[in-house]
Structure 1
C-alpha cells in the first residue's frame, strides 16, 4: 500500500491512498536483492568534491611515505640544530655596545708665540719627531744670544778669579819667605845676645856693656819682624781663601749662565712643535698667524695601535677574565674579521665615573643592569690604508668564555 500526500494551491491537503500491484512489488524486491547477489562487482563510488574523512587522510600519507619521512628528518634536524646552537651560544658573550678606542696625542705648544707656518694637513700621516708647526723664533733667538753673552761673562769672571787667586798665592809664598828670614834673624840675634852676655860676665873686658845692649835691641827687633812676618803670612793665606771663594762664586755664575743658555736654547727649540708619536693628524685647529699659549691644543695625532672598549652587562662578566680570545667585527668593514684577547676589565661600572653619577639614596629607585668597560687588545690590524681603524668606530665583539 502506498500513501501519497499532495498540497493544493489554495485548499486543504488532499491525502490519497493507492494500492500497488503485485508486479511492482516484485520489481522492488529484485532491486533490493541485486547488491547481495553480485558482491564481487560493486558499483563504482562517485567522487564527491570536498569530501574528507579519516579514510581519506590515512590513504593520503600512506601513499606519500617519502614526503612524510623528509618532513620528519627536517623536524629532527631543526631540533638538533636548536640544541647545538644553545650549547654553542653558552660558550660566548656578545655585545654591540663597543667601539674602537685609542690614546691619542694632543699636540700643543710649550711656549707662547705666534704661528708662522703649519706644515701638515688634515688626515696626513706623520712620524715621531716630525715638525708639524713652526712658531716665530725671533724673541727666543734674542734671549738665547743674551744667555750666551751672560755665560761668556761668567766664564771671564772665573778666569779673573783664578788669576787673582794665583796672585794671592804668590803673595802668601812671599810672606812665608819673609817670615822664615825674620825667624832666622831672630835666632841669630838671640844667639849674639847670649854670647855677648857670657863674654861680658867673664870680666875679661872683651865685650862692653854697650855691645850687649845693642845685641839685645837687635834681638827684640828681629823678634818683632818675625811676628810681623807671621801676621803677613796669615793675611796672605786669608787673601788666598777669599780668591778661592771668588772662583767658586764665578763658577756658580757659570753654571747659572749655562742653565739660562740651555733654557733659552730649549725655548728656541720649542718653537718647532714636533709630533711625539707616529700616526695620522686629526682635529687640526692650528692656523698661520694665530697666537698660542702653552698647553693650547693645536691638533691630535691618532696612532695606529688602537684597541677596543666593549661595554658588557655586569651579568655577562661571571666567566670572563683577561686572556680569553675575542672575535671583532667592524661595522664600517663587515667583511673584515679581526681577532684579539681580553686585556683587562675595569673595576667599576661606567656610570661610576660619569660627570653626574647616579644618586640612588633619594627618591624612587629602579634597578638597572649596569655596563662595565672591558679593554680588548687586537692581535692584528688591517694593512690597507683605506681600512684604517679610528677612535669611535662601532664594532661588535664576541668573547669565548668556555
Structure 2
C-alpha cells in the first residue's frame, strides 16, 4: 500500500511538471536584425574605402569617398549664378529708384507748366480787354476822322494800337496753346514713367524669384557634393562589402551592408494549428543552435497577418482543381535581449528553437 502511494505521488509530481512545461515549440525559427544597405546616391568613381570586412562602425562614420571634381564644379557654377541673380536684383532696384525720380521730376515740370498756363490765361484776359479798348478807340477816331474832328495822325495811332493789341492777344493765345500741348505731353510722360516704375517692380519680383531659384540650385549642388562622402546609416558591423578603389559606382548599386549587432529578435514560423493559445506577451524559451549550454528568453511581440506562403514569389492557388491541403505556418515575432556577454554573440540568420509558454 505504501509503495502504491509512493508511485502515485511520483506520477502526480511528474504530471505537474509536464503541465508546467506545456507550450508550443518549433525549430523553424531564426534570429533577425536590422540590416541597412549602403548605396550611392550619385554616379562617381570610388577614391577611398575607409572600412574593412566585418568591421564595427558607428552611425555617421565615413565608409566610402567618391570623386568630387564634377560636383565641385557644379557648386561653383551655382554660386556664380546666385551672385548674378543677386546683382540683377540690385540693378532692378536702381532702375526702380531712377524711374521713381523721373516720375517726380516730370510731375514737378507738369505742375510748373500748369502754373504758367494760369498766368497765360490771365494774360489772354488782359489782352482781350486791351483789344476791346483799342477797338473802341479805333472806331471812335474813325468817326471823328470822317467828321474832320480828328487828324489823320491820331487815327493812325489808334489804328496801330488796335493792331498791336490784336497781335498781343494772338501771341498770348499761341502761348496758351503751346502750354496746353506741353501739359498733355507731360501727362503722357507721367503715365509712361509710372508704367516704367510698375515694370521695374515686376522686374524686381522676377529677379528675386531668380535669386530663390539660384539658391535652390546651389543647395541641390551642395547636396550632390555631400553624397560623395558615404557614411554609415546606423551602428553595426560591415557586411557584404563589395567595393574597391577605382570602381565606378552607379546610383542604387549595393556596395555593402551594416548589420545591427545590438538588437536582434526571432522570427518563428509556427504551424497554424499551434497558435490557438498563443498571445502577445507570453514568455518564450529560446535555444540557439550555436550555444547548446545556455537558454535565452524572450516574449511574443506580434503575429503576421498572413501565412508565409502568401508572401512567396508564386503563392499557391487552391482553385486550380488539384488541391492538396498543407498545414500553413504563421510567422511570429519574438523580442529578446541580446546577451552583452561576448561569450554568446547573437547574429542574424542563426537557427534557434523557440518554445512559447502557453499555459
TM value normalised by structure 2: 0.85
Summarize the Cα distance change of 1:73–1:160 in structure 2 as closer, same or farther, 3 Å threshold.
same
- Partner Cα separation in structure 2 for residue 305 and residue 328 of structure 1: 15
Where do residues 353-392 of structure 1 align in structure 2 (5 Å cutoff)?
Answer: 353-378=311-336, 380-385=337-342, 387-392=344-349
Report whether the alignment pairs 1:262 with 2:212.
no
Summarize the Cα distance change of 1:106–1:153 in structure 2 as closer, same or farther, 3 Å threshold.
same
The superposition leaves residues 337-375 of structure 1 with CA deviations (integer Å, 9 ceiling, x where unpaired) of 333322211111100010111122224322221100011
Match among 300, 325, 338 for residue 283 of structure 2: 325
Q: Give the deviation of 1:322 after TM superposition.
A: 2.1
Match among 283, 286, 306 for residue 243 of structure 2: 286
Aligned to 2:65: 134
The superposition leaves residues 24-58 of structure 1 with CA deviations (integer Å, 9 ceiling, x where unpaired) of xxxxxxxxxxxxxxxxxxxxxxxxxxxxxxxxxxx
Summarize the Cα distance change of 1:73–1:198 in structure 2 as closer, same or farther, 3 Å threshold.
farther
Aligned to 2:103: 172
- Partner Cα separation in structure 2 for residue 196 and residue 122 of structure 1: 110
Where do residues 194-205 of structure 1 align in structure 2 (5 Å cutoff)?
Answer: 194-198=125-129, 200-201=131-132
TM value normalised by structure 1: 0.76
- Partner Cα separation in structure 1 for residue 267 and residue 129 of structure 2: 113
Aligned to 1:119: 50
Q: Give the deviation of 1:386 after TM superposition.
A: 5.2
Q: Superposition RMSD on alpha carbons, in Å? A: 2.3
Aligned to 1:16: none
The superposition leaves residues 274-320 of structure 1 with CA deviations (integer Å, 9 ceiling, x where unpaired) of 11111111111111111110010111111222221111111122222
The superposition leaves residues 213-243 of structure 1 with CA deviations (integer Å, 9 ceiling, x where unpaired) of 3222222221111111111111111222222
Q: Give the deviation of 1:78 after TM superposition.
A: 4.4
- Partner Cα separation in structure 2 for residue 291 and residue 346 of structure 1: 41
Summarize the Cα distance change of 1:83–1:384 in structure 2 as closer, same or farther, 3 Å threshold.
closer
- Partner Cα separation in structure 2 for residue 386 and residue 82 of structure 1: 34
- Partner Cα separation in structure 2 for residue 103 and residue 384 of structure 1: 20
- Partner Cα separation in structure 2 for residue 306 and residue 172 of structure 1: 76
- Partner Cα separation in structure 2 for residue 312 and residue 301 of structure 1: 29
Report whether the alignment pairs 1:242 with 2:199.
yes
SS in 2 for 1:333: coil
Q: Give the deviation of 1:158 after TM superposition.
A: 2.0
SS in 1 for 2:257: strand
- Partner Cα separation in structure 1 for residue 287 and residue 106 of structure 2: 93
- Partner Cα separation in structure 2 for residue 286 and residue 101 of structure 1: 25
Aligned to 1:101: 32
State the structure with bigger RCO (CA 8 A, min sep 6), 1 or 2. Answer: 2
SS in 2 for 1:172: helix
Match among 11, 14, 24 for residue 79 of structure 1: 11
SS in 2 for 1:365: coil
SS in 1 for 2:191: helix
Where do residues 300-311 of structure 1 align in structure 2 (5 Å cutoff)?
Answer: 300-303=257-260, 304-311=262-269
SS in 2 for 1:104: strand
Aligned to 1:10: none
SS in 1 for 2:34: coil
Match among 112, 117, 123 for residue 181 of structure 1: 112
The superposition leaves residues 147-192 of structure 1 with CA deviations (integer Å, 9 ceiling, x where unpaired) of 2222222222222222222222222221111121122222222233
Q: Which runs of 5+ in 2 are unaligned?
A: 138-160
Summarize the Cα distance change of 1:341–1:197 in structure 2 as closer, same or farther, 3 Å threshold.
farther
